[in-house]
Structures are given as structure tokens and as C-alpha cells.
Amino acid sequence: MLRIITPIMRIVEIPMLALQRLLGINRLAWAFLLPNLVLFGLFAFLPVIVNVFYATTGGDNVLLVDRPYVGARNFDNLMDCSNFLDPNSCREDKFWRAVWNTTWFVTLQVGIMVGFSLLTAIILNRDIRARGFFRSVFFFPVLLSPVVVALIWKWILQREGVLNAFLDWTGVGGINWLVDAQWAFGWSVFISVWAHMGFYTLILLAGLQAIPRDVYEAATMDKASPWRSFRRITLPLLSPTMLVVLVLALIKGVQTFDEIYAFTGGGPGTATTFIIQYIYEEGFAGAPRLFGLAAAASLLVAGVLVVLTLVQLWINRRNADV
Amino acid sequence: MKKNILMTTALAAGLGMVAGAAAAQEIRFMCYSDGNECEVYDDVLTRFEADNPGVDVIVDVVPYQAILENLPVQLAAGTGPDIAKVTDLGGLNEYYLDLAPYVDAGYWTDSFGETLNWYRAGADDAGIYGMHSQLTITGPFVNATLFEQAGVELPGAGASWDDWAAASRAVAEATDADFAMAIDRSGHRVAGPAVSYGAQYFDAEGNGQLVDDGFTAFAEQFVAWNEDGTMARDVWAGQGGATYQDAAQEFINGELAFYYSGSWQVGRMDDQVGDFFDWRVVGSPCGPAGPCSGMPGGAGVVGFSQTEHPEIVAAVIDYLAQEEVYAEVAARTRNLPAHLGVAGAGVEFEGASPAAQAALTAFAADLENVSPIAFAYQGYAGNRAMFGITVERLSQAIVGELTVAEAMERAASDLAAAMAETQ
């Protein structure tokens, strides 16, 4: 084997040595990184740059050359509000409704999901019967396509759905879940938690299993209560994992679109319209196609996600320093 | 020697195939179906291919959403098909191939009359761009069995929206039907009723205008009917954005007394209601402003100027526009004909039950009541924007996010912003 590889490597060595002489040893790393950088630039940086161009142009033409430059007009339109807390006072009221819906959704969904995921992970980490089965049950919804999740729950919750049939049978009487704004929003949060908590449970479970057993044994010998062990051992040692879960869940929450769009279409009215749906509808589904406004809104969302990521990095570094 | 002959023959055959492939002119036809339209076109175009050796028309069947969302982007990027069946008739005008230089313009004008205007850019445009393949008109289906069970007379010709609302409410109360009335969640569907309430849809200069006294009067009544339970609230409040939602399933299930939709639903009613109950099509109700107008519409087959084979594209569409071919397609697809010659001769719709035949005849008869405003609105290039705004803002008023006055204010500003973007 070596007899085959060695001559090949000698052949490769010739241009590499020449390249090294040409670039110097420090710059050679860039030559190795170049293929990856080209692909990354093409599929990650270039779309961002193109997006910036779209955000600063107007009209409904797709081709950039046909689009007039409008500067910051799209951003101005989005931010034109006399009171940011009241979407009705904003020029782009649908954008601000989507922003506030997303804010509430992310707050509730992430809070509930991380809490339930932690609780589930703790239970599944204990020596309970059929533990493997329950782990599979909680992870199963993660494997479903978002549209399947939406259709299952729509089937359950529609006016003549399974839940209302049950409520009618019990004599309680059905509720038109998807036509009432509060119920539709509440169910959207619930479905999103149901669909995604298995993934975060899995991460937290791995984090729990990484905590050394002897720490708990020492606490038991010191007669620490279970609650004290949880607060003083589990939570501190799990905090790096919790941080990852929190940031991932936050980013995923802001990006929520497909399952809720298939579930409620964003309704009733705009009650479950989130920011990505707003971008999609302005840019692609509506008429005229306001690519500029959609691009500007997407850059604002990207900005929020960058801030969330920076906060994660900052907290990570701070924890590492401590 | 034998081997050489075999090789030479194989080479010649191979070269022949390559040359044949190079000579074959491939035409891509992007088609969506409400029923069996694409299947019938594919079949009919096989005969065109037989008459025109070397031409290969490929019918790509796509969902309607692809026609609405993907096709415009493909056209803008220069990667669209050669031919498509579209519903945004005036909105895609900039991409159309003008068929006038390739076809008998006199025949087309005589055959398709006013519908040719729906595809044009404006009054000064005399081009021939599209063959209106599927003429539709909005109108009500009523569950006659429910009316009979309730002992309520069907309001006769000339009945108003209020008359139908009162009668449908009485039917729903008497029969425990879930809903009295429903209108599809679509800006197109409410346009006819709005015109009946006095909506003008155009200002004095002929520009699109959504909000006026007539439209506001209709909006107030429509929202009130959703609030008091006359209208099935699920249809408009159960969705967000400008998403389309119909109430056909509720009607088919026998839960709805009066369902305002359109002629394209006849096939579905015929197939799915069967003899479950007696259903009928009645003319569009009249409004306080006078007209008893439905909204015309439908789909048409157009060619695109970016095609590499304009003559063939024109020939394909012209073939479909010939009276005998058009009549065959109309009969097999059970669509109302826009071809005046075919409509005049009458169509025996294939496989249609007496109820479906009567329904299609009733819809065809109601075409004469279509208001000129509704006719012009169907061909207006900005109508898709106006339809979308109508749905979004009316829905917000129905669910209580906005008052009707606020919704009207927003609708007007949305339209102004949309117009400004497209100029």
C-alpha cells in the first residue's frame, strides 16, 4: 500500500512545494481553505449581499437591474410608527403585528418548551420502567414533517374535528378553536412545543448524563435534599447545555413558519401571523411582490438573530472565564 | 464485412436519432386543472402533434399555486414555459406573445370578442394574447332540499341579498343546518356582491380604486353577517393572509343553505352531492345599488414572448381556439365556453347529470347580468392586488382586529402603496 501511496504523494508534493514557495507557509492555509470559502461565499455571503441590494431597491421586478434604487425607504416604511406597541399606529401594521406575535410566541414557546424539556429529561434520566419506550415517544414528533404536524392537529381541532367530537360526546360542547384568535394562538404555541420538545429533551438528557454520579453521591452523604441537589448540582452543571438549548430554541422560534402556516394560515385575521410568514407573503405570495420590503424585513430579522447569537457567545465566554 | 454493415447501420440510426432530436421542437405548456382540463388538452394536442411532425407539446401539470406564485418569477427571470394556462389575465401582459401576426385576427375577434380585452395592457392595446379557455361566473348554489324541509320559498328572480339572507337564516333555524350562508374567502368572489352594493372599483381616470361608498356599504353588511352568524364565520375567520378558502365541503355535507361560489364548482357538486340532496344554481342576488351582478373570470391559454418558437406557440394556441376543438374541450371539461360561436351553438356537457346541465345553463344565463364594472375589473391588471387587499382587510374586520372604517382606510392605503410600487 505504502509503495503505491508514496509515489503519488511525491507527485502531489511538487506543486504543493511550489505553491508554498510562492505564497509562504502562513498564506498556504488560505489556499487549502479556498474551495470551502468559495462555496460558503457563493451560498451564504452572496445571498446576503443580494438581499441588501433588494432591500435598497423598489418596484416589483425580480431582476436587480430593473429595480430602482430607493435607499432606506423600505426600512423607513417598516419603522414608521407613532407607537411601536400599537400596530394600528404603524404604516406597515402587518409587520408590527407579526413582530409582536413572534415576540409573544417565542417568549411563551421557548419558556414552556425549555421547562417541559428539562422536566422530561430529568424524568427520563431516572431509572423508570420502559424508559427507552418513553424516550422514543417524546422524540417521535421531531421526526414528523412540519406539514404533517399541522395537518394532524388541524384534523383534531377543526370545527368537526376529533376534539370537538369528544367534547360533544361528553356534553361539554365543542369550541371553534381555529376561529377564535386566542385559542388559535394558544394551540399554535402548544403544537410547536409538542413538535420540538423531543429534540431539546434529547440534548438536555445528554447533558444530565454527563454530570458525574459521584457528585450526587457526595450530596446524598451530606444529607442534601433532592431539591437542593437539583439547585446546587444539576442546574449549575447543566447550565452550558441549557444555554445551547435556549439559544437554539430562540432562533428556531423566531424562524417559525411552516407548521403554523399550514395549521392556521396565519389567522384568524393576523393572530398567528409570524415574521417569516410576513416576509413570505410580502415577497412571494402577495401581489404586487414587494421584494424590497420583504428583504428589508428579513435583514431586520437577521439582525435580531445575530444579536441573539452574540449574546450566546458573550455568555459562553463569561461562563468559561468564571 | 457483416460486422461493418451492422456498425454502419447502428451509427446511421444513432445519427438519425440525434438529428431527429435536434430537429424536434419542444413546447412546454404549464397547465393547472380545476377538473380534467390538462388531461383533455394533452389528449387534444396529441392530434396537433400528429398533424405537425417534429413538434412535441409537453403538458406540465402543476398546482394552481405554482401558476400564481412560481410562474411570474420564472417569467421575470426568463425561464418560463412557452405556453401556460393563467388566471392573472391582465397582470402578466408584459410577458405575453402577441399572436396577432400569426393568426387570423378576424376569426379571433369574432370568436372571443370582449374577453380579448382582459389580456391587453389597456385601451390602446390591440394585440391578441390569450384564448379564454374557461369562462366562469360567480353565483349562488342553494340546497333546495333544506329550503323545502324548512317550508321556506326560494326567493325568485330579482331577489336581493337581504331577501336571500332572511330566507337562508330561516332555513338554518328551521332545519338546524350549521350555516345559513357562505361566500368563498376570495377578493374575486365578493366583487360581484360589492358591485351590487354600488362598488365602482375604478376612479374617474380609470385607475383601480377599492374603497368607496358602495364597497364600504357591502363591507359593513358582510362583517355584520359574519358577526350575527348569517355567514359561516369559519370561511373568512379560519384563515390568515390572503389565503383562499372555499365552503364547498360544508355545502356538500348539507350544512349550508346558500353558498356563493361559481360555475367551476358544478363538476364537484355533481360528483360529490349526487342525489344526497337537491341543489340548484340561482342568479346572483341584487344589491341596494341595483345590479344583480356576479363576477366573470376564468382562465386562458397564453404564449410568452420569451419562447424560442413563437410560430409554433401561436399555432398550438390557434389550434385550441378552433371552433370544433374548443367545443370538444368545453364539452369534455364541462366549462362554460368563452368562444361566442361555441356558446351560441350550445354545449352538451359530457357526463353531466341533468342537475349539472341545468346549473351550467343557469350560470350561462346569468352572464348577461354581469355589470360592466365587474367585467372591466376582471381584466384590470391590478386586480390581484385588489383581491388580496380585500381578503386581508375584510378578514381583520371580521375577527375584530380592525373596525370596518379602519379596514377601509387600510385597504385604500394598501392599494395606493401597491400602485406606487408597480409604477
Q: Are residues A35 and A163 in the same domain?
A: no
Q: Are residues A210 and A315 in the same domain?
A: yes
Q: What is the DSSP string of B73-118?
A: HHHHTT---SEEEES-TTTTGGGBPP-TTTS-HHHHHHHHGGGGGG
> What pLDDT is recorded for position B10?
47
Is A101's pLDDT higher than 90? yes
**pLDDT confidence of B11, banded at 50, 70, 90?**
very low
- Note if the pTM is more than 0.90: no
Could you list the residue range(s) of the whole structural domain that residue A22 is in? 2-39
Contacting residues of B for A74, CB less than 8 Å apart: none
How many residues are listed for chain B in this entry? 423
Q: Are residues A80 and A31 in the same domain?
A: no
Q: Are residues A20 and A79 in the same domain?
A: no
Contacting residues of B for A290, CB less than 8 Å apart: 421
Q: Residues of A near B (CB-CB distance < 8 A)?
A: 58-63, 88, 93-94, 97, 159, 176, 178-179, 181, 264-273, 277, 281, 284-290
Q: Are residues A143 and A236 in the same domain?
A: yes
Does any CB of chain A come closer than 8 Å to the CB of residue B410?
yes
Q: How far apart are CA B111 and CA B105, in angstroms?
A: 10
Residue of B nearest to A90 (CA): B410
Q: Are residues A79 and A193 in the same domain?
A: yes
> What pLDDT is recorded for position B423?
74
- Per the prediction, chain B carries an average pLDDT of 92
Q: How far apart are CA A202 and CA A242, in angstroms?
A: 12
Does any CB of chain A come closer than 8 Å to the CB of residue B186?
no
Q: How far apart are CA B81 and CA B79, in angstroms?
A: 7
Is B198's pLDDT higher than 70? yes
User: B356 near B270, Cβ under 8 Å?
Assistant: yes
- Per the prediction, chain A carries an average pLDDT of 92
Q: Are residues A8 and A113 in the same domain?
A: no
Residue A55 lies in a domain: no
> What pLDDT is recorded for position B352?
87
C-alpha distance from B280 to closest chain A C-alpha (Å): 26
Does any CB of chain A come closer than 8 Å to the CB of residue B409?
no
Instruction: Please identify which residue in the block is written with the cell numbers 461565499.
Output: A41
> What pLDDT is recorded for position B9?
46
Q: How many C-beta neighbours within 10 Å does residue B149 have?
A: 14
- Nearest residue to A255 via CA among A301, A200, A300, A295: A301
> What pLDDT is recorded for position B39?
96
Which H or E run includes B58?
strand B55-61
**pLDDT confidence of A310, banded at 50, 70, 90?**
confident
Q: How far apart are CA B335 and CA B349, in angstroms?
A: 8
Q: How far apart are CA A293 and CA A275, in angstroms?
A: 12
Domain boundaries of chain B, sorted by first residue: 22-135+297-355, 138-296+362-422
Residue A173 lies in a domain: yes
Is B229's pLDDT higher than 70? yes
Q: How far apart are CA A96 and CA B222, in angstroms?
A: 27
Domain formed by B22-135+297-355, architecture: 3-Layer(aba) Sandwich (3.40)
**pLDDT confidence of A322, banded at 50, 70, 90?**
low
Cβ burial of B220 (10 Å; 0-12, 13-18, 19+) is middle
Convert the pLDDT of each residue in B144-196 to its tens digit: 999 999 999 999 889 999 999 999 999 999 999 999 999 999 999 999 999 99
> What pLDDT is recorded for position B5?
47
Contacting residues of A for B396, CB less than 8 Å apart: 269-270
> What pLDDT is recorded for position B7?
47
> What pLDDT is recorded for position B8?
44
> What pLDDT is recorded for position A135?
87
Average the pLDDT over A275-296 and give the result: 93
Q: Give the number of domains in chain A.
A: 2
How many alpha carbons fall within 13 Å on the CB side of residue B193?
A: 27
Is B140's pLDDT higher than 50? yes
Q: Between β-strands B279-281 and B179-183, what pairing exists: parallel, antiparallel or unpaired?
A: unpaired
> What pLDDT is recorded for position A298?
96
Q: Are residues A182 and A275 in the same domain?
A: yes
> What pLDDT is recorded for position B157?
87
Query: CB contacts < 8 Å between A and B, how many?
Result: 98
Does any CB of chain A come closer than 8 Å to the CB of residue B187?
no
Is B324's pLDDT higher than 50? yes
Residue of A nearest to B392 (CA): A269
Indicate the DSSP class of residue B368: G
Convert the pLDDT of each residue in B254-285 to its tens digit: 999 999 999 999 989 998 998 899 999 999 99
At residue A117's C-alpha, the angle toward residues A116 and A118, to 5°, is: 90
- Nearest residue to A74 via CA among A301, A304, A292, A303: A292
Q: Are residues A147 and A101 in the same domain?
A: yes
Fold of B138-296+362-422: D-Maltodextrin-Binding Protein; domain 2 (3.40.190)
Residue A295 lies in a domain: yes
Q: CB-based contacts of B267: which residues, under 8 Å, 6+ apart? A: B34, B35, B334, B356
Contacting residues of B for A284, CB less than 8 Å apart: 69, 73
> What pLDDT is recorded for position A25?
84
3-state secondary structure of A266: coil
> What pLDDT is recorded for position A321?
67
Q: Are residues A134 and A28 in the same domain?
A: no
Q: Are B238 and A267 a contacting pair at CB < 8 A?
A: yes
Average the pLDDT over A46-62 and give the result: 94
CATH of the domain at A217: 1.10.3720.10
**pLDDT confidence of B415, banded at 50, 70, 90?**
very high
> What pLDDT is recorded for position B13?
46
Average the pLDDT over B198-224 and give the result: 96
Indicate the DSSP class of residue A271: T
Is B31's pLDDT higher than 80? yes
Cβ burial of A5 (10 Å; 0-12, 13-18, 19+) is exposed
Is A304's pLDDT higher than 80? yes
3-state secondary structure of B291: coil
Q: What are phi and psi of B176, to 5 degrees?
A: 65, 25
Q: CB-based contacts of B59: which residues, under 8 Å, 6+ apart? A: B29, B31, B38, B41, B42, B45
> What pLDDT is recorded for position B16?
44
Does any CB of chain A come closer than 8 Å to the CB of residue B289?
no
> What pLDDT is recorded for position B14?
46
**pLDDT confidence of A320, banded at 50, 70, 90?**
low
Q: CB-based contacts of B56: which residues, under 8 Å, 6+ apart? A: B24, B25, B26, B27, B49
> What pLDDT is recorded for position B65?
86
> What pLDDT is recorded for position A275?
96
> What pLDDT is recorded for position A26?
85
**pLDDT confidence of A128, banded at 50, 70, 90?**
confident
Q: Are A272 and B240 a contacting pair at CB < 8 A?
A: yes
Q: Of A102-106, A123-127, B185-189, B221-225, give the lowest mean pLDDT range.
A: A123-127
